[in-house]
Structure 1
Amino acid sequence: MAKQLELSIDRSSPVPLYHQVVQGVEAAIHSGALPAGSRLENEIQWAARLNLSRPTMRKAMDELVRSGLLVRKRGVGTQVVSSQVRRPLELSSLFDDLSNSGGKPTTEVLSFNHAAADDATREALHLPAGSTVYHFTRLRKMGGKPLALMENWVRDDITAISEELLAAQGLYRILRTGGVNFRLATQRIGAMIANDYQAGLLETSPGSALVTMERTAVDDKGRNVETGRHVYRADSYSFEMTLVQR
C-alpha cells in the first residue's frame, strides 16, 4: 500500500516548492518515518494532495531519485531505498567510521597471504627488492548487508597481522595499536560497474554502479604503510567532503 506522507509547504518561503518537498522527504527518511522499502503514492496523486503542479512534483522526485534516496520500479512505483552510509573524507578506516556512528560492522576475510611484494606494491610502499608484505581481501558488512569489498597490501616490518585480527578489528586500529601514527594519505575516488565476481559478493547485479577508492597512507615517520583498492555499493555508500576557500 502506498504511504501518504504529510508535508508542510510554505508558499511564502524563499525556498523553492520542489526543494521543500525534497527536504521533507529527506527528513522523513532519515527520521525513520519512511523506512526502507516504503512505497510512495504516485506523483499525480501527491501533487493534487499538496496542491502543487505536476512539473514541480516531478522535479522533486527526480532529485530524490538522483540522490539515491528513492528508486522507481516498473510495476511497483516509487520506493525508499536503504539508507546510505555517508563517510567523511578524512584519514580513518571504514570499520571505525561505522563503529563510531553506532553501527556494528562485521568482516569476512576472503583471502590472506604473507608473501613477496610484486613490483607495483613495492613501488607504492617504497620498499626494496625482496621485501614481503601482507596481502588480503575482506568483505565488510553492515547489518548483515554487504557494503564494501576491500583489497589491501601492508608492509610487514611494523606489526604482525593475522586473519583473526582482521576479522575482529579495522586495519587502521590494528596498525595504530602497533605504533603507527598516520599523517597523510593520497586518495582517489571514482566509479565503475560491478563484474560478476564483485556483484556476487556484494549481493547486487552485474553492471550495477560501484564507488571505488584507492588509497596509500603515510605515517609520521614518512613510511608508506599501506595501500589498497576498495569498491562499495553505490546505493548504500557515499563520501562527504567540506570545501574551503583558500
Structure 2
Amino acid sequence: MNLKIDHKSPVPLHIQAENLLRELIKQPEYIEGKMLPNEIELAKRLAISRSTLRLAINKLVYEELLIRKKGIGTKVASTKFSSKSKNWLSFSQEMKNRGIEVKNFELHVSWVVPDKAITKFFAVDEDQKLLKLERLRGKKDDPFVYFTSYFHPRIGLTGDEDFKRPLYEILETDYHVVADLSQEEIDAVAANKFIADKLEINIGDPILSRKRFVFDQSGKPIEYNLGFYRAESFTYTVESRRDY
C-alpha cells in the first residue's frame, strides 16, 4: 500500500494519517494482530512528525483498532471473541464455531493440594490432592487466555491424558462424565506479574477474570476452572429474557 500524505491538502495532517492507518490495517498482511512499522520509520514514510503520527495512532487505540504495548510497539487489534451466558460452550467449541484453530502455547499437568475454596466446592478433604491442568491458549502467535482447571478425583483422570484434545470430549468419551451445567463469576481485574507475563501485557493492565463451576448431569461438581483473558480479545455477552 502506498502511504502518502498530501501536504498541500486543507485536511489536517493527523487526520490524513489516521485515514491512511485505517486503510493500512485492513490490508491482508496486517489483519489479526500484525505489528505496525515503528513510529520513527512510519513518520519518515509519511513525512510528518512523530507527535502528529501519535495523534492518529492514539485515536485508533482509543477505538480499540490498535493496541500499543510498552517496549514492544503498536499492533492491529485482533477480532474480539464473544462468549454468551446462554447455552455455554467450552473454549474449544467457541473457537471451532468461529472457524479458528486453537493453539496451546503452554500445557502443564500436576497433582496439588488446592486452597480451601476448591476443596470446599468439591466437598473433599483439605489435604486431598487434585489434578491441576494449566493451559495458555489462543490462536497462531496470539496467546490471549490462561486457564487453570481442577477436577474431582472421582472422575478418574490420571494426568496422562492427551489434553490437546477438547477437555469435555475427554471427560465424556473416555470417562463417561458429561459436563451439563456451568455457573460463572465474572470480574474485571488488574493483571499480576504471572498473568501479565503469560498474556504478554503489562502488570496492572485490565483483564477479564472468569471463574467457572462445572457440574455433571446429576448435579455433582466435576471442574473448578479459572480463566484470565486479555481484555481487548474477549467480550462476555449476557442474554436475558423477561418473565411475565
- Structure 1 length as normaliser, TM-score? 0.66
RMSD: 3.5
Q: Is the 8 A contact 2:208 2:230 kept in 1?
A: yes
Residue 180 (str. 1) matches residue 200 (str. 2): no
Q: Is the 8 A contact 1:149 1:231 kept in 2?
A: yes
Per-residue deviation at 1:97?
1.2
Residue 83 (str. 1) matches residue 83 (str. 2): no
One-letter amino acid of the counterpart of residue 82, structure 2: R
One-letter amino acid of the counterpart of residue 99, structure 1: K
The DSSP-based 3-state class of the residue aligned with 1:165 is coil
Distance of aligned partners of 1:244 and 1:133 in 2 relative to their CA distance in 1, 3 Å threshold? same
Residue number in structure 2 paired with 1:101: 98
Distance of aligned partners of 1:72 and 1:128 in 2 relative to their CA distance in 1, 3 Å threshold? closer
The DSSP-based 3-state class of the residue aligned with 1:229 is strand
Counterpart Cα distance in 1 of 2:234 and 2:35: 20
One-letter amino acid of the counterpart of residue 93, structure 1: S
The DSSP-based 3-state class of the residue aligned with 2:232 is coil
Residue number in structure 2 paired with 1:220: 217
Per-residue deviation at 1:174?
1.7
Distance of aligned partners of 1:85 and 1:172 in 2 relative to their CA distance in 1, 3 Å threshold? same
Counterpart Cα distance in 2 of 1:79 and 1:144: 13
The DSSP-based 3-state class of the residue aligned with 1:114 is strand
Residue number in structure 1 paired with 2:129: 132
Distance of aligned partners of 1:86 and 1:67 in 2 relative to their CA distance in 1, 3 Å threshold? farther
Deviations 1:2-41 (A, max 9, x none): 79xxxxxxxxxxxxxxxxxxxxx9xx97xx8x945699xx
One-letter amino acid of the counterpart of residue 147, structure 2: M
Residue number in structure 1 paired with 2:239: 242
Per-residue deviation at 1:209?
1.4
Distance of aligned partners of 1:95 and 1:221 in 2 relative to their CA distance in 1, 3 Å threshold? same
Per-residue deviation at 1:109?
4.2
Per-residue deviation at 1:180?
1.7
Query: Identity of paired residues, percent?
Result: 23
One-letter amino acid of the counterpart of residue 241, structure 2: V
Counterpart Cα distance in 2 of 1:186 and 1:171: 17
Instruction: Please say which of residues 182-191 and 210-219 is displaced more in the overlay.
Output: 182-191
Distance of aligned partners of 1:109 and 1:125 in 2 relative to their CA distance in 1, 3 Å threshold? farther
TM alignment of 1:62-81, pairs within 5 A: 68-69=64-65, 81=77
Per-residue deviation at 1:244?
1.0
Per-residue deviation at 1:130?
5.2
- Structure 2 length as normaliser, TM-score? 0.66
One-letter amino acid of the counterpart of residue 220, structure 2: R
Distance of aligned partners of 1:86 and 1:69 in 2 relative to their CA distance in 1, 3 Å threshold? farther
Residue number in structure 2 paired with 1:123: 120
Distance of aligned partners of 1:35 and 1:108 in 2 relative to their CA distance in 1, 3 Å threshold? closer
Per-residue deviation at 1:116?
4.3
Residue 207 (str. 1) matches residue 168 (str. 2): no
The DSSP-based 3-state class of the residue aligned with 1:235 is helix
Residue 159 (str. 1) matches residue 156 (str. 2): yes
Per-residue deviation at 1:113?
1.5
Q: Is the 8 A contact 2:105 2:143 kept in 1?
A: no
Q: Is the 8 A contact 2:183 2:214 kept in 1?
A: yes
